[in-house]
Amino acid sequence: MRPRGGVGAGVEPGSTPGLTGSTDTRAYPAGVNRWRTLGWRDAWLPGLIAALAVAEMVALQVSNWGLGAAVEAVDCLVLVARRIYGLLAPTIAMLAVLLLPMLGTPLDEPSVPIAILALSFFALARYLPDLRGLYGFVLVLGVLFVDYHSFDNRDHNWSDVIFVLALASPPYVLGRVMRRVSEQNQALERAQGIVREQAIRDERDRIARELHDVIAHSVSAMVVQTAAAQELVRTDPDGAEAVLADVAATGRRALAETGRLLHVIRDSAGELGLSPAPGIAQVAELVQRYRADGLAVDLRMDEPLPTLPAGVDVSAYRIVQEALTNALRYSVDRAATLSVSGTPTRLRIHAVNRCNGRGGRESGQGSGLGLVGMQERVSVLGGTLAYGASTPGVFEVVATLPVETA
């Protein structure tokens, strides 16, 4: 089957299993209609080949061209299902094309059948998880040999074998390469998902440890205040009442933080640490450490800031720490601007640094897990977080936390 005209490649450019739900990456559950998973990505290339096949047959007017055009169109329709029937559909399509000479339609002039064969060989490799496609590969080569031997009256030699292998092998090899790349990409995505989930769990555990410190402090203060009230209840009732009011206020704050703690701990946590939790009051010291590491930080902090609930206080400190860490890693001029402002109801943290591209995770650098941690903290506290490039080359982090304890 030597073409008289040009050779159509017929190989799909960049089929992405994540977009098409290819059977090469996941099985279909029982009861799922696999045909419903097919879409335009499966149909556009066979449809284009079918149109070219019909047009070519009409133009060439070879013997029994109507039957040839119909068979090629049906072959292309079968190839729409190549993703869900990775062995059967391509093999049937190729066999139908090769049987055309037996039905009276010569294939020595049309070129589009080569595109059908190429797409079919590609599908045998791309959409099967193993080497079963070689069964169809060998079967089609056997039928092609019979076709050459019995229905082609021209003289043949070893050059015909080379021609057939040159037609069949590249699409098949390309299909295997694309499948391997797709599998590696999906394995990488799964690994990144595991790392991301682990980072979220670690951040929740860290929040839980810090809130544990806050609650432990509150309970200890309540015990001391209650003991003092017991001493004053007979000698100074007014003083005892004031102390008990402080106990009630401390208890309400502890209950609020306990609610946050129960919300955060969703998995079994490890041993809770007892180190003092930092807060917004330690931001100036934190900035000094980053300046010592070579980051020029322009700190702008409102004075005085509103009194923060303990959980908000420690989370604000951690958000500032992560924002400065991001600036230290990715800032092109080793400089950052940090502003901390507050109202009676909201605390706002705004960090800005210059960067290559869009900075941090958005520029493709780093893992982005620090931003995941910040997002987790802010969502637990009921605040908002925005980060990214406001203008080219400028990366911003804006976090807003509620000051009033819910």
In this structure, how many other beta carbons lie within 10 angstroms of the beta carbon of residue 27?
A: 8
Catalogue the E-assigned strands of 209-261. Answer: none
Q: What is the CATH number of domain 280-402?
A: 3.30.565.10
Residue type, 122: F
To the nearest 10 degrees (0 to 180), the angle between helices 112-126 and 88-98 is 160
Secondary structure (3-state) at 402: strand
Residue 378 and residue 160: Cα distance in Å, rounded? 69
Strand partners for 340: 301, 349
Q: For residues 32 and 28, what is the distance between their CA atoms, to the nearest angstrom? A: 6
Contacts 24+ apart (CB under 8 A), 217-221: 217/310, 218/250, 218/251, 218/253, 218/254, 218/257, 218/310, 219/254, 221/250
Q: What is the pLDDT of residue 276?
A: 57
Can you give the pLDDT at residue 23? 43
Taking 90 as the threshold, does the pLDDT of residue 348 lie above it?
yes
Within 10 angstroms of residue 113's Cβ, the number of other Cβ atoms is: 26
Q: Which two tokens stand for residue 88?
A: 């059967």
Count CB neighbours of 367 within 10 A: 13
Q: Could you give the CA distance from residue 259 to residue 293 in angstroms, rounded to a whole number?
A: 38
Rank 89-93, 101-105, 246-250 by mean pLDDT and report only the highest. Answer: 89-93
Q: Which of 232, 279, 228 is nearest to 250 (CA)?
A: 228
Question: Regarding the domain delimited by 193-264, which CATH topology (the fold level of the hierarchy) does it fall under?
Answer: 1.20.5
Is the preceding peptide bond at 304 cis, omega within 30 degrees of 0? yes
DSSP string, 227-241: HHHHHHTTT-HHHHH
Q: What percent of the chain has pLDDT over 70?
A: 74
Mean pLDDT of all residues belonging to the chain = 76
Beta bridge partners of 335: 296
Q: What is the mean pLDDT of residues 275-290?
A: 82
| Of 354 and 34, the one with more pLDDT | 354
- CA–CA separation, 189 and 100 (whole Å): 45
Report, as an integer, the average pLDDT of 75-80.
89
- Predicted confidence (pLDDT) per residue in 126-157, tens digit: 888 888 878 887 887 777 777 666 666 666 66
Residue 49 confidence (pLDDT) above 50: yes
Lowest mean pLDDT across 63-77, 80-94, 249-263, 332-346 = 249-263
Q: What is the dihedral of CA 376, 381, 382, 384, to 10 degrees?
A: -60
Domains in the chain: boundaries = 17-156, 193-264, 280-402
The confidence score (pLDDT) of residue 363 equals 42
Distance between CA atoms of 224 and 207, rounded to whole angstroms? 26
- The model carries a pTM of 0.45
pLDDT tens digits for range 95-116: 888 888 877 887 778 888 888 8
**CB 381 within 8 Å of CB 311:** yes
